[in-house]
Amino acid sequence: MARYLSELKRDEIGFRDLLKIGGLVALPTALVMYQPDLGTALTYLPVLAAGILLAGLRWHYLAVVLVVCGLALPAGWYFLKDYQRARLVTFLDPSRDPKGAGYQVIQSKIAVGDGGMWGQGVTHGTQTQLRFLPVPHTDFIFSAFAEEHGFIGVLVVLGLYFLLLMQIVQNAQTAPDRAGMYICMGVATLLLFHLLVNAGMVVGSMPVTGIPLPLMSSGGSNMFSVFMMLGLVNNVRLRRFAS
């Protein structure tokens, strides 16, 4: 997508360009959804939104996109798997199934609350160590961290994520070409989406989607992907000094 947008010779993208970009993103999104992995498939959408907004999208095109998305949401309900529907219903009211679909969210919120200001201490979190919070090392790693390190620890981690994102945005601003700018902003958008969804998920503000927390959740494929993205950003930064 960065390559396509960087090759445009105009300051605004037209409707035909919008359809082509949508097709580029729709193909991998559909393949990932077919696995099925709705959470990962949704991560393509913020990258698409960031790209077309940076490229310049006319307001009436934006209005059409928003209307189409709004109309497609009710129809999308029928394409979801049963467990995906259960996650959305549980998000609205976890107490409807406290021992089933809502169990992990309830235990996650308890773990975050137990952390207090300074936390229970490393390996001393009751929700985590006593296994009330299932598989805390993956999607709910932020709950375990909040319980053990408290509000202060959470602020430190979020501050580090903020510094990382600001450094990526700064690289986008100093990129030697438009392709580098789109790459950096796409990576920043993707990491920000992961952070917002995962952090919101553990406190019950977002549905459980299985999206890992970058650089913290256990899992080799996600860590490898994040390092690849940061490598692309670093490559853009190094190209500033190329003659």
Same domain assignment for residues 128 and 39? no
Look up the domain containing 237 and give its range. 94-243
108 and 42 together in one domain: no
Does 173 lie in the same domain as 141? yes
Q: How confident is the model at residue 243 (pLDDT cuts 50, 70, 90)?
A: low
Whether residue 239 lies inside any domain: the answer is yes
Residues shown for the chain: 243
Between 217 and 70, name the one with better pLDDT: 217
Res 145: pLDDT: 94
> DSSP 3-state assignment of 214?
coil
- Check pLDDT > 70 for residue 242: no
**Cβ neighbours for 213, distance < 8 A, ≥ 6 positions apart:** 139, 141, 142, 194, 195, 198, 199
Are 167 and 230 found together in one domain?
yes
Q: How distant is the alpha carbon of residue 109 from its chain centre?
A: 20
Q: Are residues 63 and 120 in the same domain?
A: no
Q: Is residue 210 part of a domain?
A: yes
Cα–Cα nearest to 139, from 34, 205, 19, 222: 222
Number of H helices, E strands in the chain: 11, 0
Minimum mean pLDDT among 111-115, 123-127, 224-228: which range? 123-127
Radius of gyration of the CA atoms of the chain, in A: 20
11, pLDDT greater than 90:
no
For residues 5 and 75, state if they share a domain.
yes
> According to the model, what pLDDT value does residue 138 have?
85
**Is 56 contained in some domain?**
yes
pLDDT over threshold 90, residue 170: yes
Residues 72 and 169 in one domain: no
Residue that is last in its domain, among 54, 80, 106: 80
Tell me whether residue 163 is in a domain: yes
155 has a pLDDT exceeding 80 = yes
Query: In terms of domains, do 113 and 232 share one?
Result: yes
| Tens-digit pLDDT profile for residues 190-214 | 999 999 999 999 998 888 888 899 9
Q: List CB contacts of 184: < 8 A, sequence separation 6 or more.
A: 168, 169, 171, 172, 175, 233, 236
Of the candidates 176, 117, 122, which has an alpha carbon nearest to the alpha carbon of residue 145?
A: 122
Of these ranges, 8-17, 57-66, 192-201, the one predicted with the greatest mean pLDDT is: 192-201
- Which among 24, 47, 80 is the end of a domain? 80
Single out the residue in 24, 46, 80 at which a domain terminates: 80
Please state, for a pLDDT cut of 70, what percent of the chain lies above it. Answer: 98
Residues 6+ apart with CB under 8 A from 135: none
Supply the mean pLDDT for the chain. Answer: 87
pLDDT of residue 46: 92
Output the pLDDT for position 61: 73
Domain count of the fold of the chain:
2
